[in-house]
Amino acid sequence: MPVGFQLRGYLILRRVLQPVMRGVLAGRIRKGKENAARAGERLGVATQARPAGRVVWMHAVGLGEVLALRPLIVGMQQEAPDLNFVITSTARSSADVLRQNLPANTVHQFLPLDGPRFMAKFLDHWQPCLSIWSEQDIWPGAIYDCAVRDIPVAYVNGRMDNKSTAKRARLAGLYKRVFGLFDLIAAQDDQTAKNLSSLGGRDVRVMGSLKPAAEPLWVDASVLGTLQAALEGRRIWVAASTHSDDEAVLIGAQRELVKRDPSWLLILAPRAPARGDEIEGALDQAGLSCTRRSKGGQPDPSHSVWIADSFGELGLWYRLAAAAFVGGSYGGLGGHNPWEAICLNLPVCHGPNVANFAKDYEVLDCSGTSQPLPNDASSVPALVDFVVQSQTTKASVGTLVEDAKAALKPLVKDLIAMIRAGA
C-alpha cells in the first residue's frame, strides 16, 4: 500500500511517541480529564468481552456525535440482525449518558490513543468487520491500521467547514492518503463534500445529517412522573447546553418572566455541569433564586431557576418543558444540536451563531420549527415573547424526521454490502 512521505512520517512518529502518549494520559488522569477506572481503554485494553459473531466499530468524538449514530445502528441491525456494535468516543462525559441511550447489542469503549501498540490491542480484541468514522474526528494511524488489516472503512455524517479544511490542507499529502483509504464517504452538505474531495476523498456523496433521524433521548419514566406531579402549576422552559454568553441573555429573560408571573421556572442545563458554582453566583447577582440538581435540590415555589448541573438527564428536562433554548449560539462557539429537542416536539429558539448546524437551522427556521433570536438589545424581549407564545403551541416536525430516516436506507444497504464484500 503506497503511503507517501507525510503519512510515512506520521506512522514513524506515532510509534516513537507512544511513551509520551502514556505520560500525557497519566497527566490527564491526575487532572480529572480522563476516567481513571477506564483509562486502560485509552491504551487499547478492552473492559468488555467481545460478543460472538460480527462486530462493527463506530467512532465519534463526543456525546452528541455518538448519539447521532444510533439510527444508523438500528437500521443496520434491521438489515443484519446478527451484527454487534462497539462505539468509541474520546469525551469523558459521554460514557454515562451513552450507557442509557445505546441500542441493543451495542457497547461503548473509549478510543485508544493513536499509537500502533494501543490500536493493535484494540483491533485484535474486537476484530471488526467494518470501521465507521463520523463528523470531524479523524485519526490517521487508526484508519491506516484498519486498511492494512483489510477492514473496510467508511466516513459518514461528515462535517468539515472551510476553516478545518484549510488546517488539514497544510498536510495535504497526509490527508490525501488518509481520505483515499475510505471505501465510502457521506457528507452532511455540499460544502463539506467539496472540502472532503479537495482533501482526497473519492466519490463523496451528500446525504444530510444523521441527527434528525435519532431516537428521542432516554428518560426514567418514574422520575419524570414524580417531577411532573411535583412541578404541577409551574410554567417551565429549558435552556440546554448553555455557556456564559447564552446565560447573559437567559437570565435577563427569566427576570422579566418572573416579574410577570412568579410561576415561571427556567431549567438551566449548562454544557459543562462543573460550572454550577459560577452560574449560581450569576443568578444570585441577578436576584433570581435557584436550586441545583447536583446538590439534590428540587424547586419549590420560591425558586425561579433549577440549575441542571448533571449528566445524562437532558431527555428528562426536555419532557418537563414547553419550550427550549439551545445554547452555544451566543458568542463564538457555533451552536449545539437542536434535534434532540425537536424530536420531542419542543419549539426551539437559538442565538445568531449556529455555524456548526447552519444547514439544520436553515431548514428548521424556514419551516417555523425553530426561531432565531437577534444579537442586540432586543434579544431579551424576543426570547421572552418566544417563551410565552410557546406555552400554547407545539413544534410540528412534519416530515423532517421521516425524511431523514428514509435517507438512511441507501446508506445502510451500502454499509452492509461493504461487510459482505470484505467477508
SS3 percent helix, strand, coil of the chain, rounded to 5, is 50, 15, 35
Alpha-carbon distance of 269 to 319, in angstroms, equals: 13
- More reliable by pLDDT, 90 or 223: 223
In CATH, the architecture of 4-208+405-422 is 3-Layer(aba) Sandwich (3.40)
Residue 393 phi/psi, 5-degree rounding, is -135, 160
For this structure, is 256 an active site residue?
no
The residues facing 413 across adjacent strands are none
Alpha-carbon distance of 304 to 314, in angstroms, equals: 19
Fold of domain 221-392: Rossmann fold (3.40.50)
pLDDT number for residue 395: 67
pLDDT number for residue 398: 63
What is the mean predicted confidence (pLDDT) over 92-111? 84
Ranges for all domains in the chain classified under CATH 3.40.50.2000: 221-392
- More reliable by pLDDT, 61 or 250: 250
pLDDT number for residue 62: 84
Ranges for all domains in the chain classified under CATH 3.40.50.11720: 4-208+405-422
> What is the 3 state secondary structure string of 367-422?
HCCEEECCCCCCHHHHHHHHHHHHCCCCCCCCCHHHHHHHHHHHHHHHHHHHHHHH
pLDDT tens-digit map of 339-385: 999 989 899 999 999 998 988 999 899 988 899 999 998 999 999 99
End-to-end Cα spacing for the chain: 20
For the beta sheet containing 106-110, the strands, ordered from the edge strand earlier in sequence to the opposite edge, are 106-110, 84-89, 55-59, 130-134, 153-158, 184-187, 205-206
Question: Which alpha helices (H) appear in 272-321, and where do they start and end?
Answer: 276-286, 314-320
Looking at the chain, the whole-number percentage of residues with pLDDT higher than 90 is 79
Do 346 and 365 contact (CB within 8 A), yes or no?
no
pLDDT tens-digit map of 117-151: 999 999 999 999 999 999 889 999 999 999 999 99
Alpha-carbon distance of 384 to 387, in angstroms, equals: 5
pLDDT number for residue 286: 97
pLDDT number for residue 399: 74
Lowest mean pLDDT among 214-223, 245-254, 268-277, 409-418: 214-223
Rounded to the nearest integer, the mean pLDDT of the chain is 93
Residue closest to 251 by CA, chosen among 280, 223, 225, 230 = 280
pLDDT tens-digit map of 302-323: 999 999 999 889 999 999 999 9
Alpha-carbon distance of 50 to 57, in angstroms, equals: 12
Q: How much is the pTM?
A: 0.88
With the C-alpha atoms ordered 29, 32, 36, 40, is the resulting torsion angle positive or negative?
negative
Residue closest to 187 by CA, chosen among 197, 178, 173 = 197
pLDDT tens-digit map of 234-293: 999 999 999 999 999 999 999 999 999 999 999 999 999 999 999 999 999 999 999 999
Among 65, 247, 313, 340, the one annotated catalytic:
65
Residue 300 to residues 114, 256, 258, Cα–Cα distance (Å): 49, 19, 14
